[in-house]
Amino acid sequence: MDEQKVIEQLLAAYPVYQYGFFQSKDLDINSRVREICQTECERYGTSWSCPPAVGTVEECREKIEKFPEGLLFSTVAEVKNILDMQETLSTRFAHEEITVSVEREMRKNGLDVLTLSSESCAICSSCAYPGAPCRHPDRMHPCIESHGIVVSSLVEKLKMDYYLGEQTLLWFSLILFRKR
């Protein structure tokens, strides 16, 4: 089975804007990304999908290395005002549903996956972290940056778009995979 061909066929069923395949060993993983999470993100230390709950950068690197191949894909959302965070974030749910569906299809096709997505998980109105286990570990996707991955570097390597204008958002998901 050619995994990439199978994945390309299943992606055709979804409104995916762009995608690219890569080798996980070629990912740019940098602890500086984690430092930015810690100093600039309000979700740091409040969610199972964010640091420190996802593990150290080195532990994340070890998880990543268990999956030799990866898929990065993007979806597009239009907004009236990109500075309106409520409007902007409301467009993310459609992207996350596509991510869940693509992940499910990849599993059905005999692949083990590690899925990372955009932003912190927002399935629950209040995360159980740190007092209780995640309520939806089968649906919760840590954010790409939580693992120290430099998304802009990968987007550039794959010759994908990163910016489409002031009223257009690009949401990204990264799915690492291996044969079961």
13-54: pLDDT as tens digits: 999 999 999 999 999 999 999 888 888 888 889 999 999 999
164: left (phi over 0), alpha (psi -120 to 50) or beta: alpha
Cα dihedral sign, 72-177-30-55: positive
Q: Give the pLDDT score at 1.
A: 52
Q: Work out how many domains the chain is built from and give that number.
A: 1
Question: The domain containing residue 114 runs over which residues?
Answer: 3-179
Q: Which residues pair with 71 in a beta bridge?
A: 21, 175
Q: Give the pLDDT score at 85.
A: 80
Residue 82 in this model has a pLDDT that exceeds 90: no
CA angle, 62 then 34 then 59, to 5°: 15
pLDDT (tens digit per residue) in 44-61 = 899 999 999 999 999 999
pTM above 0.85, yes or no: yes
CATH number at residue 54: 3.40.109
Cα dihedral sign, 149-146-107-159: negative
Q: Give the pLDDT score at 41.
A: 85
Q: Is the distance from CB of 29 to CB of 61 less than 8 angstroms?
A: yes
